[in-house]
Structure 1
C-alpha cells in the first residue's frame, strides 16, 4: 500500500534523551495508524511520498532542528506538521519584543510548519500571535493499545511508583516507611539522573513493565510541584496518561488546567492526597487496603485511555485537518474503533 507521507524517527540504535522516548512512541503509533514512511533525521532519504510530513519533538527548538535535517527534501507545496510535548518557549525568548522573536533563526524555521500541535492549551493563543506560528491544541496521548493493561492489583509488586516530580517530603516518608522492611516497595527516581538512553526500545519496554506492575502511581500537577520552575501553566502531562493506561491508580494532585475535566472525565481518574506527607501515607495505606476498589479503578482507567487517549486518536485528529493527504482515514478510524471496543469488551 502506498505511503500517505513521512514521519521523522531516529534509528533505534541511536542514543536519545529520556524524554525523547515519549516522542518516539507518539511517532511510531502515528506512523502505524496513518501509514507513514520512516525517515531518519540523522541519515535522511527521500521518501516515497514527500507531500505530508509529521515530526514529534520534546521542545520547539528540537522540532526546528529536526525539520532542518530534512528541509532539502520538503517541497514548497508539502504539508508539514509537528507535535511538541513541552510546548513553551524559554523565558529569555519570551522577554523579547515580538518582532525580534519572529526573526530568531529557529522561530523563522518553525514557520515552515503548516500546523504545530501543542498540549498546553493556555499558551497557544499568545504564542501563535507573538511568534507568528500556526498552532492548534492537541492533548498528549499514550500508546494504550500496545502497552496498556489493567487490574490484577494483588499481584502487582510495586506498591507505589513515584517516577518524576513529587514533593520531596513525601518521597522521604514513603521511602522510609516502605523500603526498609516488609514486602512493600516504593519505586522512585528523584535520587538518580539519567541523561541519555542508549537503547530506547528496551528502555521503554522496561518502563512499561514497571508501570504494569504498579498499584499506585504518584502524579502532582505542575502548579503544585515544580522544583525546577520549568512550567508556565497547568497542564495534564505524560505521566497521567502513561499511569492510567497501565491501569495504575493515580494519586497526588490533579492539574487545575481548564482542559483537565474534559480529559480525565471518569470517576477516580485521579485521587487527591493530603499535603501533609504523614497524612498522605495514611491515605495511601487506606486506599491500598481495598483491592476490589483498586481493580475496578484500574479497569476503568485502562478502558478510558483506550477509548479516548491512544495516540492513534490524536493522529486521526491531525489527519482530519489535512483530508487531502488521507483519503483512507474513515476506514482506518472504523477499524481502530472496532479494535478498541473489542478490547474493552474483553476486560473482565
Structure 2
C-alpha cells in the first residue's frame, strides 16, 4: 500500500456488521475496502444486538410517524477531526442507523451519503426517513430518475452517482483463464430467455450457470464477490437486464440499472440482454456492442449466440473494449475521485497508484503493452510499497 498520512482524514460509517451477509450489500463493502486502500480512512462499523427488537420497532414506527428512534446502535466515541464522513445506505430505512450516531457529523468537515435504492414512487412512503438526508452536505444516488424528486424534498444537495466495480478483481488479465462457461446468469432473469437457455443446455450441451437457490445472504461477502468475479471472467456470455425489470409494481416502471452491467464489462464477457431505456446509460456504456440486445420475451437467444459464435473477431473486440472501458472509467477508484471532488479534497497517492495499476491492465488487454504476468506482478508490488 502507498504511504498515506498517519492520521485518518476520512471516516467511513459502515453497515457491514449489521447487514453483513446480504448479497446486495457486497459491492458496498467492496467500495469501502478500496477507499481504505487508496485513501487515509478509518472505518466504524457498529453492531446491533440480533436478539433485540428495537431495530424493527424503530423502522415500523418511522413509516407511520416522524419519529427516528435509535435502532440499537451503541454509542461510538468519535476521535476526529476528519475532513470527510462517508456512508453508504442501501435503502432509506438505513438512515436510522446513521441518525443514531449523528454526533459523528460534528467531528467531520463535510459529509456525503450514497443512497443505493430509492424509487421515485416510494419517496412519499419513506417521507419520515428521507429528511435525515438533509443532515448531509452531499447526497449521491444510484437511481438517476429519483434525483429531482428527492431534491424537491430535501433541497439541492442530490446528484446522480453511477455504480462501479472492482475492475481489477473482475478483469481476467494478466493471465486470462479459458472461458469454459457458455452463459452466466445471476439473480433475476427473463423467464423466456431462461427457458430457452435451459433447452440449449439440455439438447446442445450448453454450459449454463444460473442461480438454483433462492436466498439473499452470502456466507462471507468478500468470498462471494471473488467467486462471482471468477465465474464471470470464465464466461463467454453474461445476462444483463435493468434493475427489478420483472417487478414493475416495485419500481413504478422507473428504469434504472445496477452493478451487473459494470461486472459484465469488467470481466470481458459479452453482455446479452436489454439496454436500459434510461437517460444516463448511453453516456456510461457508449461503445459499440456494449450490450447485445435480447428482449426479455425473446426466444431467440440461441440465434444471437450462434451469430456471435460465427464471428470470433467481433467477439474479441467486444471483450477487449468492455474490459478497457471498465478499467479506465468504471472502477471504484474513479467513483471515489468524484466523491473527493464533491468534498473539495485532493486525492492521495494511493489513488494515483491504483489508477496506474488499472492502466497497466488496460494496456495488457488492448495489446499495446504486452508485458508478462511476472512483470505485472513486480510492478504491482512496487506500487504497494
TM-score tier, shorter chain, comes to 0.7 to 0.9
Unaligned runs of 5+ in 2: 48-73, 368-385
Structure-2 change in CA distance of 1:346 and 1:45 (3 Å) = farther
| Aligned partner (choices 25, 30, 33) of residue 30 of structure 2 | 25
Deviations 1:98-120 (CA, angstroms, capped at 9, x unpaired): xxx3xx2x223222111110122
| Distance in 2, Cα, partners of 1:334 & 1:76 | 27
**Corresponding residue to 1:187 among 209, 212, 217:** 209
Q: CA deviation at 1:95?
A: 6.3
Q: Give the Å deviation of 1:153.
A: 8.7
**Larger displacement relative to structure 2 (180-189 or 202-211):** 180-189
Partner of 1:305: 326
Query: 2: CA distance between counterparts of 1:246 and 1:307?
Result: 13
Are the counterparts in 1 of residues 173 and 364 from structure 2 also a CA contact under 8 Å? Answer: no
Shift of 1:89: 5.6
User: Residues 277-303 of structure 1, C-alpha deviation per residue, up to 9 Å, x if partnerless?
Assistant: 432222123223434432321111111
Q: How does 1:123-138 map to 2 (within 5 A)?
A: 123-132=146-155, 134-138=157-161
Helix, strand or coil at the partner of 1:317: helix
Name the residue aligned to 1:117. 140
For 1:298 and 1:45, how far apart are their aligned partners in 2?
Answer: 48
Q: Deviations over 1:12-69 (max 9, x none)?
A: 797421101121112222232232111113275534544421112221222x133135
Aligned to 1:221: 242
For residues 77 and 312 of structure 2, the distance between their equivalents in structure 1, rounded to whole angstroms, comes to 52
Does the aligned pair in 2 maintain the 1:173–1:281 contact within 8 Å?
yes
Superposed displacement of residue 331, structure 1: 4.8
2:78 aligns with one of 32, 38, 46: 46
Show structure 1 runs of 5+ residues with no match.
none
Deviates more, 1:153-162 or 1:311-320: 153-162
Cα RMSD of the aligned pairs, angstroms, is: 2.8
Name which of structure 1's ranges 106-115 and 37-46 shifts more when overlaid on structure 2: 37-46
Question: Which residue does 1:162 correspond to in 2?
Answer: 185
Of the structure 1 ranges 228-237 and 1-10, higher mean CA displacement relative to structure 2 is found in 228-237
How many residues are paired up?
333
Answer yes or no: is the 8 Å Cα contact 1:56–1:83 preserved in 2: yes
- Deviation digits for residues 313-346 of structure 1 (CA, Å, limit 9, x no counterpart): 01111101122xx34x275554444333222112
CA distance in 1: counterparts of 2:358 and 2:101, whole angstroms: 35
Cα distance in 2 between the residues matched to 1:133 and 1:27: 26
* More displaced stretch, 333-342 vs 314-323: 333-342
**Which residue of the other structure, out of 263, 267, 272, is the alignment partner of 2:293?**
272
* CA deviation map 1:206-263 (0-9, x unaligned): 121111111111112359x323633242223211001111111111110111111110
Structure 1 residues 95 and 58: CA distance shift in structure 2, 3 A: closer
Q: CA–CA distance in 2 between the matches of 1:120 and 1:149?
A: 29
Question: Which of 238, 256, 278 is the aligned partner of 2:277?
Answer: 256
With 312-321 and 205-214 compared, the bigger mean Cα shift is at: 205-214
Aligned counterparts, 1:287-298, within 5 A = 287-298=308-319
Q: Is the 8 A contact 1:117 1:137 kept in 2?
A: yes
